[in-house]
Structure 1
Amino acid sequence: MDDIVRQAMAKWPNVPHCFGWLGLDARGNWYMRDDRTQAAGPFPQARGSLLRHEKLVDFIHRNYERDDDGCWFFQNGPQRVYVELEAAPFVLRLSGDGTLTTHTGRTVACRTCLLDDHGRLFVDTESGLGLLHTLDMHVAADLVESGGWKPEPVEAASLPARFGFVPSPQARANEKAGR
């Protein structure tokens, strides 16, 4: 986490959390979701505006974390902005030499890989569960054929509970509030 973020949190400790305004899609793209977008439906059906500002995206990556309940968020200064996840907390890229990198730029290792009932390949890493980017499936296929990866079958609906993440912190907050 950036020092400037820690300083802002210390200076303003009671800023309310923000829900529904940021989404991460299955290709590792961030979407800003204004009130109109949120009223149009849940993420990813109503995506919002693709964030293209490189420095903003880098700032989000450096300050992207998980809370104790399994909700992922971006710490934006003193405000915690919870993230709506299309598939998993991370989107992974796989290079030809087998190196896995999260969409935030962190190198991670495969603990196990899983093939869901929709044909998507997920990888359990020390940083959390990640969805393998569709552009890298050919590299993963080579790892599977060589015996390096042995995908386990899994139902997509079981992934959040099994790997301890909340796909929609906004829906969870609404449930807790009785909405």
Structure 2
Amino acid sequence: MDDIVHQAMAKWPNVPDCYGWLGLDTRGNWYLRDDQAQAAGTFASGLPGSKGSLLQHDKLIDFIGRNYSADSLGRWFFQNGPQRVFVELQMAPLVWRVQADFSVKDHIGRDASVQTCWLDEQGHLFLQTDSGFGLVHTQDMGLAADAVDRGLWLPQDVLSQQVPERFGFVLSPMAMQNV
């Protein structure tokens, strides 16, 4: 986490958390979700306008990545200075990019070591790594298939509806607030 974020947290310790305003899709893209996007539906719903606006500012994306983490309840967030901005996840908290040598990097660019591989009934491939759980990017499924063919990754079956609970993350922290 950035030093400036730690300093802001110490200076303003009681800033309320923020829900519903930031989303992460299955390709590792960040979306800003204003009131209109939130009113259109949940981030993962696929309803027109519910995703919000794609973030394209490189420095902002890098800042979010450096300050992206999870709490003890499995809710992923971006620590924006003193404010914790909980992230709505389309499918998983990390999106893996497979490299030519079968190593992986998350959507933020951090290296990881694959520990286990999981395949759901819809054909989504997930990896548990030393730095967390995530979805393999659709553009990298050819390389992932090669890793499986070579015996580097041995996919285990998992039901898509069981993925968040089994791997300890929350798709929609905002929905937890409405319970």
TM-score, normalisation: structure 1 = 0.96
Structure 2: distance between partners of 1:147 and 1:164 = 27
Give me the identity figure in percent. Answer: 60
Shift of 1:146: 1.1
Listed as ranges, the matches of 1:128-147 within 5 Å are 128-147=132-151
RMSD: 0.6
Shift of 1:99: 1.1
Q: Find the residue that maps to 2:178 and give its secondary structure.
A: helix
Shift of 1:128: 1.5
**In the TM superposition, what whole-angstrom CA distance separates every residue of 1:55-74 from its partner, at most 9, and x where no partner exists?**
00000000000001100000
- Tell me whether 1:108 sits opposite 2:119 in the alignment: no
Structure 1: distance between partners of 2:145 and 2:15 = 46
Structure 1: distance between partners of 2:91 and 2:65 = 17
- Tell me whether 1:93 sits opposite 2:97 in the alignment: yes
Q: Which residue of 2 aligns with 1:83?
A: 87
TM-score, normalisation: structure 2 = 0.96
- Tell me whether 1:158 sits opposite 2:170 in the alignment: no
**In the TM superposition, what whole-angstrom CA distance separates every residue of 1:22-48 from its partner, at most 9, and x where no partner exists?**
000000000000011101110032100
Structure 1: distance between partners of 2:32 and 2:55 = 7
The count of corresponding residues between Structure 1 and Structure 2 is 175
Gapped regions of structure 1 (runs ≥ 5): none
Shift of 1:91: 0.3
**In the TM superposition, what whole-angstrom CA distance separates every residue of 1:117-146 from its partner, at most 9, and x where no partner exists?**
110100001221110001111111111111
- Tell me whether 1:18 sits opposite 2:18 in the alignment: yes
Structure 2: distance between partners of 1:174 and 1:109 = 36
Partner of residue 61 from structure 2, selected from 42, 57, 64? 57
Q: Which residue of 2 aligns with 1:47?
A: 51
Deviates more, 1:103-112 or 1:12-21: 103-112
Which portions of structure 1, spanning 4 or more consecutive aligned residues, are displaced by more than 6 angstroms?
A: none
